[in-house]
């Protein structure tokens, strides 16, 4: 089991480093304009650089990244699949 609070803190730090507002967990990041195409690519890059989460084309579903909670779920599932990745 991976610590959702730790993942949330890492995701929040990524958003802050990108100068993006860190909204509540269920806010749609695309509909509200928090994430646009450029910010989305920067988010993916930061997830890989900071957390070692490499997003494959199969995983590149917008719904995996639509909300903070979905991003946390995705990172937790990725980490679980890779077992041994400590967050």
Could you tell me the CATH number of the domain that includes residue 28? Answer: 1.10.1200.10
Q: What is the pLDDT of residue 1?
A: 44
Q: What is the pLDDT of residue 19?
A: 96
Q: What is the pLDDT of residue 84?
A: 55
Q: What is the pLDDT of residue 61?
A: 94
For residue 60, count other CB atoms closer than 10 A to its CB: 11
Domain containing 45 equals 4-82
Q: Give a yes or no: residue 87 inside a domain.
A: no
Q: Give a yes or no: residue 13 inside a domain.
A: yes
pTM for the model stands at: 0.88
Q: What is the pLDDT of residue 33?
A: 95
Nearest to 43 by CA among 82, 28, 23, 34: 34
Q: Which residues of the chain have pLDDT under 70?
A: 1-2, 84-87
Q: Give a yes or no: residue 68 inside a domain.
A: yes
Q: What is the pLDDT of residue 22?
A: 86
CA distances from 28 to 15, 19, 45, 82 (A): 14, 17, 20, 27
**How many folded domains does the chain comprise?**
1
Q: Give a yes or no: residue 58 inside a domain.
A: yes
């Amino acid at each position: 089991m991976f610590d959702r609070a730790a993942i949330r803190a890492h995701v929040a730090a990524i958003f802050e480093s990108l100068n993006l507002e860190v909204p509540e967990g269920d806010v749609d990041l695309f509909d509200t304009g928090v994430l646009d195409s450029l910010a989305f690519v920067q988010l993916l890059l930061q997830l890989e650089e900071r957390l070692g989460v490499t997003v494959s084309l199969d995983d590149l579903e917008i719904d995996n990244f639509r909300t903070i909670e979905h991003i946390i779920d995705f990172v937790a599932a990725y980490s679980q699949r890779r077992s041994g990745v400590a967050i």
